[in-house]
Amino acid sequence: MLVENGHEWFRFEELYLLSGFSFEAFLQAMEGGSVLIDFDARTGHNHGTKFRLRQGAWPSLYANVQRVFTPAQPLRLT
């Protein structure tokens, strides 16, 4: 993240389109250890429960995983 003149700028490396989610596959991934559960209750404020996936787990949960954005080759500053 970059802050410039009071504005926050983010750099995205990739963008994926996921479709065809399988709840049955999600349950299997939980049992197999590919899905992790975070209970994020900080002092004074509950941020809720989160699910994290191990790297590379998307194809086991979604019928279609499509990369739709990859940044252009970075510019070299000389």
Residue 21 pLDDT level (bands cut at 50, 70, 90): very high
- pLDDT tens per residue across span 22-58: 999 999 999 999 999 988 777 777 778 889 999 999 9
Q: What is the mean pLDDT of the chain?
A: 85
CA angle in degrees (0–180, nearest 5) for 49-55-56? 120
Q: Is 8 part of any domain?
A: no
User: Closest Cα partner for 73 from 1, 17, 13?
Assistant: 13
Q: Is 78 part of any domain?
A: no
> Which amino acid is present at 58?
W
**What does pTM read for this prediction?**
0.67
With pLDDT > 70 as the criterion, what percentage of the chain qualifies? 91
Host domain of residue 31: 13-69
Q: Is 5 part of any domain?
A: no
Number of domains in the chain: 1
Q: For residue 48, what pLDDT is reported?
A: 83
Q: Is 75 part of any domain?
A: no
Q: Is 6 part of any domain?
A: no
Q: Is 31 part of any domain?
A: yes
In whole angstroms, give the CA distance from residue 29 to residue 42.
27
Pairing relation of β-strands 35-42 and 45-53? antiparallel
